Chain A
Amino acid sequence: MNVYTLKGYLLKYFLMTLITSFVLITLSSCGGSSSSSSDDGSGDGDLSLGGSLFFKQGMTVDGDTVEPNNTVIDNNGADTSKTQPIDYPSTVSGFLGTIGDQSDFFDFYKTSMLAGQVVTLVIADPNAQDFDLILYDEAQQKVDDSVGTGNLEQITIPSDGVYYIAVYGYSVENLGDDGGLYTLTTGEANSLSSSHAYQKTHLSSSDAMMEDEVLFKSRPSLAKSSSARVALSSRLKRDDVLSLREGAAGIVRMRLQRPAALKTTQIVQTRKAFQTDIPDVIKKVKALRRDKDIDFAQPNYIIQTFKVPNDTYYPLQWHYPQIDLPLAWELTTGSADVIVAVIDTGVVLAHPDIRNQLVPGYDFISDTTNAADGNGIDSDPNDPGDGAHAGESSFHGTHVAGTIAAQSNNSFGVAGVAWDAKIMPIRALGVQGGSDYDIGQSIRYAAGLSNDSGTLPAKKADIINMSLGGSGFSQVMQDAILAARAAGVIVVAAAGNENADANNVSPAGLTGVVTVSAVGYTAQKAPYSNFGTSVDVAAPGGNTGQDANGDGNPDGVLSTLATDDDQFVYQFYQGTSMAAPHIAGVAALMKSAYPALTPNDFDLLLAGTHPSSTRAITTDIGVSGKDDLYGHGLINALNAVEAARTLAGNPQATEPLLALQPESLTFNTAISHAEMTLYNIGGGTLDVSSISATEPWVSINERTAGSLTYDVTVDQSGLATGVYQAAIEIASNGGDKTVSVVLSITDAAVTQGDIGTVHVLLLDPTSFDTIVSTKTSSFQNYTFTLTGVPAGEYYLAAGTDLNGDDFISDDGEDFGIYPILSSISIIDIQNNIDGFKFNVEPLIALPSTSSTSTTTSARTIQIRKTP
């Protein structure tokens, strides 16, 4: 950010000043280096300099700060009218603390935001201030908070609506702090909260935690001495502390009095407009973190170890926890880009728990009698029922499809393995069963290969599931499977239910197929399941002869179903038919984590011999190593997804992959240039075949050939006031990307928004002392005129002083130097001159990634607003 460049710049000049100051003193003044101080400072000269200030849309100022020249807006939140409305997005520069003879604890803002947008608070001096962020809904109910102890607080908006945002001066109210500056922003989601520094200091009362326990560790030097630790314990043991118990690794568990126990007399509070209480346990953590003898402190968090969908019948789906799916779902719930073809009896397309999970499919049953839908092959894969008589239909395809990707976490029905994957329903099993030929055509269609329908799917399937089989070797099926595999499709098949050798079954015994045997609740081979050397992996298929988990239902696999009398229901089924879709679903989760996953990758991962990851993706049950009952073992969804993520992070990269920064560019009247950099985050060599803009006012130039760094400039000449959009289109052998460009031209005489009073200064270019100053505000549309300017060289600067410390360049204030902070230049004033336009922007000290503190060197040069 520009600030850091300024620091570097200013540091350099500070050093130069030290060296040259001796010289300056001896040379004596030639005017201008010291003058009478006047608040609206004309100097000793007779020239004038004028201009105007610009600032980014959305910048605004807290309505109650120390700046005496600002219009006061009462935002103390005593009632809902005492809240300050702000637009979206906004950057608010604010202050909490002593203002005159009052203490300002709260600044309340009101705004409309959408789900997923974030509110971020940056505390300018976190060593001196502990400020917190609280979010309320339109009915003034607290929704969330961020009450940590670092320089950053952040809350993500949970749902579209009107919100009140409170910046709470915790240290001002509770620790005698006389206050400091902050910057509050509302905007799109950012990655600030994923930084390690943020995680260390973050606290929120919406995190699940014990309400009466705190964990801490004393600082290393103290921790070595047991007498020092004892002294610390007795010092910490206050009225609100029940006990202190040291455990392993020096972690001390502090038990607090339950909050209710402390309230000996209940004082009925007058009803506050906004409840601002912070839980005692968090206050205790804050206090311990301030303690010089404490290394770290945290609440005793209640860790939720896995993600549980809210589908009605999910608690009965024992077969998902059996293969660690809830843990895998923490990492991924799949992707709509991944398609699993279900070659089966068709799917009841209208089933409420499936209908939103589908892409178009096909019906390849060529014999009309077998098809029982009035014709041969057609584009309708709806399952009309496969029963010889009414009431006998299995609706088997609907059950299998539901295991793979039933609509999950939608408050009814069941969950599937890959919540977000898509099902391609393909009908090949009719009332008489399925012919080799029809199944072969189905495989070809799913794989995007030519087939009898004369059509291809818009996007081929990534995985094919075949919960079907018959005895003998089928060349037709073998050929189709090998072709599909060569096209990159992972083919999964049920081992069969004869309790016999799967080698004698097609497709289970064919080459290129992932063959799946079945286990029940107790993770033992189901009585019916086939076995043999063809079996690659085991998955839950169920054993309805048991109720080993005691839930009152047979231990089958629970999934979606329909009936011949048009009901949509759910049923426990058992079979290797039910095991195979668990594998297909896990493969879909893996594909969403690593889209380049090939059938060969999958086989190698199952075997534990993949060059990029030897993580076992199965639990080796039965005889050690690969065995006839379970193949490489019972699939483990968590390990499988983690292995896929490893592959994604260490791509067998031969292919380039284009990335760029930034993904969008915004220009305005003052900013007409930006830098864009392209990167290859894959392998090989990135070759950019074309890069061009869609509008003539955007030009793009590569700095040096092959540098992948581009200068983007916009030319406003001839464009009227308004907002303009364009795109930069980039084509490369690593993919194509589009960068959006926005140019906002405002009337020079009118500046939107109000950031309060801004002080405009002419500075001595070597000492940075203020020579002449003036003020401007929204009343002047942020135009300014400096008068009484002596001829000479200056820097032209502007900034706010919200904390009343007489400096305009504190973190948390708005600041700028002509022409732009990243590239300031000296101006030479020899005549009256006008037209100096430049930006002020908020100085936000974002968390540093380096471990050493930078606060001591942050502001070695401060711009004093008065000469």
Chain B
Amino acid sequence: MRTSLFTLLLLLTFGTGCASKQPVAVSDLAQSQQCQSPHTQYDITVVEEPERWDTLFSQQFASGRLPAPEVPDIDLSLNQIVIIDLGQKSTTGYGVARSQESATIENGVLTITVEITSPDTKMMHAQMMTHPCLALKVPKGDYKKISIVDQQGLVLAEVSVNR
């Protein structure tokens, strides 16, 4: 009984908020054009544990760079890390970055808009293998799913967030 009253109060307080888009302050944590991840195409990874971030950072973002970069600090009690991985590419010219619109929460879905760059196939390109990935610092909040969409609104990937 108490729980349902509590829930009712919550709904009353935040109900109107949930019905409209809430902006969320998402920021860049790390990026690389040489991600050493096993993914060969689009992938989203959510990271919540500090040890897992340390490992992933050194494996995917720092690997191959000398001197090795330091793991960026992040407070994982308030945030989580969302890694967007484009997979392996056969030339330069690819990239993923947050677009100008900020991320939003609506109906329990956190939507992050990114800009995907691909090389112009009519031009010549450097013949180097690349693997772009981007790690975002995302505040924890009341959402159950994270959705990555491109600048056209096309959903690139989605991931459920455990609560």
A388-B95, A389-B117 known; A394 and B123 CB under 8 Å? no
The reply to whether A578 and B128 form a contact with Cβ atoms under 8 Å apart is yes
Interface flag for B124 (CB, 8 Å): yes
Interface flag for B93 (CB, 8 Å): yes
Cα–Cα distance between A553 and B62 once the two chains are bound (Å)? 10
Closest Cβ of chain B to A518, distance in Å, is: 9
- B64: A residues at CB distance < 8 A: 544, 553-554, 556, 571-573
Return the chain A residue nearest B32 by Cβ.
A391
| Interface 1/0 per residue, B2-26 and A, CB below 8 Å | 0000000000000000000000000
The reply to whether A433 and B66 form a contact with Cβ atoms under 8 Å apart is no
The reply to whether A434 and B95 form a contact with Cβ atoms under 8 Å apart is no
Q: Count chain B CB atoms within 10 A of each CB in A316, A392, A494, A528 and give the residue with the most.
A: A392
- A710: B residues at CB distance < 8 A: none
Interface flag for A416 (CB, 8 Å): no
The reply to whether A506 and B97 form a contact with Cβ atoms under 8 Å apart is no
Interface flag for B49 (CB, 8 Å): no
Closest Cβ of chain A to B29, distance in Å, is: 11
The reply to whether B121 and A577 form a contact with Cβ atoms under 8 Å apart is no
The reply to whether A506 and B90 form a contact with Cβ atoms under 8 Å apart is no
Contact of B66 among A434, A570, A575 (CB under 8 A): A570
Cα–Cα distance between A571 and B129 once the two chains are bound (Å)? 13
Cα–Cα distance between A580 and B93 once the two chains are bound (Å)? 20
Q: Which chain A residues numbered 459 to 511 have a C-beta less than 8 Å away from chain B?
A: 467-471, 494-498, 506
A389-B97, A544-B64, A578-B128 known; A435 and B36 CB under 8 Å? no
Cα–Cα distance between A294 and B118 once the two chains are bound (Å)? 76
The reply to whether A392 and B90 form a contact with Cβ atoms under 8 Å apart is no
Q: Which chain B residues numbered 119 to 151 have a C-beta less than 8 Å away from chain A?
A: 119-130, 132
The reply to whether A554 and B127 form a contact with Cβ atoms under 8 Å apart is no
Interface flag for A14 (CB, 8 Å): no
- B120: A residues at CB distance < 8 A: 432-433
Q: Which chain B residues numbered 13 to 66 have a C-beta less than 8 Å away from chain A?
A: 28, 31, 33-34, 36, 63-66
A/B pair count, beta carbons within 8 Å: 128
The reply to whether B127 and A576 form a contact with Cβ atoms under 8 Å apart is yes
- B126: A residues at CB distance < 8 A: 344-345, 386, 394, 396-397, 429, 467-468, 575, 577
Closest Cβ of chain A to B118, distance in Å, is: 9
The reply to whether A554 and B97 form a contact with Cβ atoms under 8 Å apart is no
Interface flag for A323 (CB, 8 Å): no
Interface flag for A783 (CB, 8 Å): no
Q: Count chain A CB atoms within 10 A of each CB in B28, B63, B129 and give the residue with the most.
A: B129
The reply to whether B36 and A554 form a contact with Cβ atoms under 8 Å apart is yes
| Interface 1/0 per residue, A413-433 and B, CB below 8 Å | 000000000000000110011
- A386: B residues at CB distance < 8 A: 92-93, 126
Interface flag for B67 (CB, 8 Å): yes
Interface flag for A377 (CB, 8 Å): no
Cα–Cα distance between A421 and B149 once the two chains are bound (Å)? 48
A576-B127, A577-B126, A577-B127 known; A389 and B95 CB under 8 Å? yes
A554-B36, A569-B65 known; A396 and B117 CB under 8 Å? no
A392-B97, A570-B66 known; A433 and B123 CB under 8 Å? yes
Interface flag for A439 (CB, 8 Å): yes
The reply to whether B132 and A575 form a contact with Cβ atoms under 8 Å apart is no
Return the chain A residue nearest B118 by Cβ.
A388
The reply to whether B34 and A571 form a contact with Cβ atoms under 8 Å apart is yes
Interface flag for A558 (CB, 8 Å): yes
Closest Cβ of chain B to A575, distance in Å, is: 4
Interface flag for A387 (CB, 8 Å): yes
Cα–Cα distance between A394 and B127 once the two chains are bound (Å)? 11
Interface flag for B102 (CB, 8 Å): no
Interface flag for A313 (CB, 8 Å): yes
Closest Cβ of chain B to A14, distance in Å, is: 75
A345-B126, A575-B129 known; A392 and B65 CB under 8 Å? no
The reply to whether A394 and B128 form a contact with Cβ atoms under 8 Å apart is yes
- A429: B residues at CB distance < 8 A: 92, 124-126
Q: Which chain B residues numbered 97 to 129 have a C-beta less than 8 Å away from chain A?
A: 97, 115, 117, 119-129
- B65: A residues at CB distance < 8 A: 569-571
Closest Cβ of chain A to B121, distance in Å, is: 7
Interface flag for B91 (CB, 8 Å): yes
Tell me the interface secondary structure of chain B in the complex.
loop
The reply to whether A433 and B128 form a contact with Cβ atoms under 8 Å apart is no
Cα–Cα distance between A467 and B121 once the two chains are bound (Å)? 16
Interface flag for A240 (CB, 8 Å): no
The reply to whether B128 and A573 form a contact with Cβ atoms under 8 Å apart is yes
A392-B97, A544-B129 known; A558 and B66 CB under 8 Å? yes
The reply to whether A396 and B97 form a contact with Cβ atoms under 8 Å apart is no
The reply to whether B123 and A435 form a contact with Cβ atoms under 8 Å apart is yes
Contact of A433 among B33, B36, B119, B132 (CB under 8 A): B119
Cα–Cα distance between A836 and B76 once the two chains are bound (Å)? 101
The reply to whether A544 and B66 form a contact with Cβ atoms under 8 Å apart is no
Cα–Cα distance between A495 and B64 once the two chains are bound (Å)? 23
Q: Which chain A residues numbered 528 to 544 have a C-beta less than 8 Å away from chain B?
A: 528, 544
Cα–Cα distance between A394 and B34 once the two chains are bound (Å)? 9
The reply to whether B128 and A467 form a contact with Cβ atoms under 8 Å apart is yes
- A434: B residues at CB distance < 8 A: 123-125
Cα–Cα distance between A573 and B131 once the two chains are bound (Å)? 11
- A573: B residues at CB distance < 8 A: 34, 64, 128-129
Interface flag for A574 (CB, 8 Å): yes
The reply to whether B125 and A389 form a contact with Cβ atoms under 8 Å apart is no
The reply to whether B31 and A470 form a contact with Cβ atoms under 8 Å apart is no
A386-B92, A544-B64, A569-B67 known; A435 and B129 CB under 8 Å? no
Contact of A394 among B33, B63, B117 (CB under 8 A): B33
The reply to whether A392 and B95 form a contact with Cβ atoms under 8 Å apart is yes
Interface flag for A687 (CB, 8 Å): no
A433-B125, A436-B124, A571-B34 known; A313 and B66 CB under 8 Å? yes
Return the chain A residue nearest B119 by Cβ.
A433
Q: Which chain A residues numbered 301 to 346 have a C-beta less than 8 Å away from chain B?
A: 313, 316, 344-345
Closest Cβ of chain B to A559, distance in Å, is: 10
What would be 26 A-B contacts, judged by CB atoms less than 8 Å apart? A345-B92, A386-B93, A387-B33, A388-B115, A391-B31, A399-B128, A428-B124, A439-B124, A468-B125, A469-B124, A469-B127, A470-B125, A471-B121, A496-B127, A497-B128, A498-B90, A544-B63, A545-B36, A554-B63, A569-B65, A571-B66, A572-B64, A573-B64, A576-B127, A577-B128, A580-B127
Chain A interface (Cβ within 8 Å of chain B)? 313, 316, 344-345, 386-389, 391-392, 394, 396-397, 399, 428-429, 432-436, 439, 467-471, 494-498, 506, 528, 544-545, 553-554, 556, 558, 569-578, 580
Q: Could you list 11 further interchain pairs (A-B, Cβ under 8 angstroms) beyond the known A429-B92, A433-B124, A436-B124?
A: A388-B117, A389-B117, A396-B92, A433-B125, A467-B127, A468-B125, A469-B125, A573-B64, A575-B126, A576-B127, A577-B127
Top 9 nearest A-B pairs (CB, nearest first) are: A433-B123, A575-B128, A389-B97, A497-B90, A572-B64, A494-B127, A434-B124, A388-B117, A396-B126
